[in-house]
Amino acid sequence: MSFHVYDTTLRDGAQQEGMNLSVTDKLAIAPLLDELGVGFIEGGWPGAVPKDTEFFARARSELTLKNAVLAAFGATRKVGVKVEEDPQVRALLDSQAPVVTLVAKSDVRHVERALRTTAEENLAMIADTVRFLAGEGRRVFVDAEHFFDGYRFDRAASLAAVEAAFDAGAEVVALCDTNGGMLPGWVGDIVAEVRDAVGPDRLLGVHAHNDTGCAVANSLAAVEAGASHVQGTVNGYGERTGNADLITVVANLELKHGRALLAGRGLAEASRIAHAISELTNISPYARQPYVGASAFAHKAGLHASAIKVDPDLYQHIDPRAVGNDMRMLISDMAGRASIELKGRELGFDLAGQGDVLSRVTNRIKDAEANGYTYDAADASFELILREEVTGERPAYFTVESWRSIVERTGSRGSETASEATVKLRAGGERIVSTGEGNGPVNALDQALRQALGRVYPEIEKFELIDFKVRILDQTHGTDAITRVLIETTDGEQSWSTVGVGPNLLEASWEALTDSAIFGLLKAGVSPR
């Protein structure tokens, strides 16, 4: 029996709080899902959500899928309505999607209290709708809503709904944990019982929500018990706490159970695709996401690094390349010499056998972290320290004579503010004095520094500050507290992060800004002038 990987990012994923996908977003996400290699892409509910009706219409001319087929989602016919006269069922046909997935009630309490009808009418709604759509040439899948809750309450009634769907011609019945309250043992037992009840030739699926934090585990339990169709969303998007993270489910099945499920390059592209979809949903990626998260293979503890130096597999459960991710060493006060050696290797420095350098860098990092610096989020500042300890000097792009930045309040009530900064430095054999204006004192300082350096290093014009984070450390000291600034800069292709610490925001920012300029010039291959 074939196995289905069924993605519902564009339908159930879009039910996540705060997510609002345009038709264009959906048309951009669908090819990424196709590239991932899923078998089915549920595009939305045509006839109920106007954007979804438009999505299916535009998909016909604008989408070319290599691996996946589109599924339109909708409900069984309404109570007491002839199926061929139900406009929502008609909209499913009109979508021209080759697969239609019907949500059907399979918990008798929902039938009686939400649909306000009888169990018999519900079975007729399921059978009529499946038969009608199958008769029109559609592959029909049924999502048995609240199946697990219903089964635990009245198993005969829930099983009758599943059987009605199969008997009418449904290709798949996906058992749904709609409220997400199940635990893996319960799911495994129930799927095994349903498997026995419906027989081995019928294709059972699973659709899990994450309210107990078990959506992935519940999906795996269902597959182990005989489900061969698994639904989920990329990045675990979905209502409330989300749906089963489809990439995690598939990675577990492929990499732990040896079942190749995705078409094309599949998992090897998973990290890139998960992040690209985050860009389109405008929801920041979750760094600690299994397999594809930025931290999924990041090691901070010095003891880990000392073993990883011998063999990376000693501290990681898979080769990160299997999911298109990378191993990274994080540098902090928890680093040891092995961490520095491995990080050096990552940055292109071979420090093997250079015990002195490793000890000096390790001690410098530990001291700096004790004074408020943090390097696990400021790789570029770390690299400058490492270079300095290896070569004995910092790249001499400029020497600073002085700088200042002021905030001026103007207007009759002092309600308008303007900032102005002056930087005096030497570069390219000249003394440069530059003044910058900005909407705040840090912005003005950044402008002044950039303008000064730009006279000698025009390469700096490409640099852009894209993130700025301030943290006041040791807040119990009030105004004595120290300030830490982390900034991220890009040259349009790559980005780098630097850190600064000081008694106030401006001093901390100045250090992070100058590190950023030096690192950017270094990376651009510019020699000091």
In this chain, which stretch among 72-80, 190-198, 489-497, 513-521 interacts with ligand ACO, using CB under 6 A?
A: 72-80
Contacts of 508-513 with C-beta under 8 Å, sequence gap 24+, read: 508/470, 508/482, 508/483, 508/484, 509/442, 509/445, 509/446, 509/468, 509/485, 510/403, 510/445, 511/485, 512/381, 512/485, 512/486, 512/487, 513/442, 513/445, 513/446, 513/449, 513/465, 513/487
Q: Is 105 in the site for ligand ACO (CB under 6 A)?
A: yes
Q: What is the DSSP string of 419-439?
A: EEEEEEEEETTEEEEEEEEES
The smaller minimum CB distance to ligand PYR, of residues 86 and 145, is found at: 145
- 45 touches which of ligand PYR, ligand ACO, none (CB within 5 to 8 A by kind)? ligand ACO
- 341 touches which of ligand PYR, ligand ACO, none (CB within 5 to 8 A by kind)? none
CB of 178 to ligand ACO, least distance (A): 5
CB of 209 to ligand PYR, least distance (A): 6
Q: Is 36 in the site for ligand ACO (CB under 6 A)?
A: no
- 472 touches which of ligand ACO, ligand PYR, none (CB within 5 to 8 A by kind)? none
CB of 194 to ligand PYR, least distance (A): 16
Q: Is 235 in the site for ligand ACO (CB under 6 A)?
A: no
Q: How far apart are CA 399 and CA 246, in angstroms?
A: 53
* Contact predicate 191/227, CB 8 Å: yes
Q: How many residues bind ligand ACO (CB under 6 A)?
A: 13
* Token pair belonging to 88: 């929502």
CB of 76 to ligand ACO, least distance (A): 4
CB of 469 to ligand ACO, least distance (A): 37
Q: Is 221 in the site for ligand ACO (CB under 6 A)?
A: no
Q: How far apart are CA 261 and CA 284, in angstroms?
A: 27
The smaller minimum CB distance to ligand PYR, of residues 209 and 304, is found at: 209
- 207 touches which of ligand PYR, ligand ACO, none (CB within 5 to 8 A by kind)? ligand PYR
- 523 touches which of ligand PYR, ligand ACO, none (CB within 5 to 8 A by kind)? none
Name the site residues for ligand PYR (rule: CB under 6 A): 12, 103, 143, 145, 176, 178, 207, 209
Q: How far apart are CA 43 and CA 187, in angstroms?
A: 27
Q: Which of residues 130-159 bind ligand ACO (CB under 6 A)?
A: 145
- 104 touches which of ligand ACO, ligand PYR, none (CB within 5 to 8 A by kind)? ligand ACO
Task: Quickly tell me which residue has 């129930």 as its tokens.
Answer: 190
- Classified as helix, coil or strand, 126 is helix
* Contact predicate 309/320, CB 8 Å: no
Q: What is the DSSP letter of 254?
A: I
Neighbours of 63 (CB within 10 A): 18
* Contact predicate 475/484, CB 8 Å: no
The smaller minimum CB distance to ligand ACO, of residues 125 and 221, is found at: 125
- 274 touches which of ligand ACO, ligand PYR, none (CB within 5 to 8 A by kind)? none
Q: Is 78 in the site for ligand ACO (CB under 6 A)?
A: yes
CB of 89 to ligand PYR, least distance (A): 17
- 26 touches which of ligand ACO, ligand PYR, none (CB within 5 to 8 A by kind)? none
* Contact predicate 160/107, CB 8 Å: no
Q: Is 263 in the site for ligand ACO (CB under 6 A)?
A: no
Neighbours of 196 (CB within 10 A): 10
Beta bridge partner(s), residue 408: 418
Angle at 498 between CA 484 and CA 483, to 5 degrees: 5
In this chain, which stretch among 41-49, 63-71, 305-313, 505-513 interacts with ligand ACO, using CB under 6 A?
A: 41-49
Residues that bind ligand ACO (CB under 6 A): 45, 48-49, 75-76, 78, 103-105, 115, 125, 145, 178
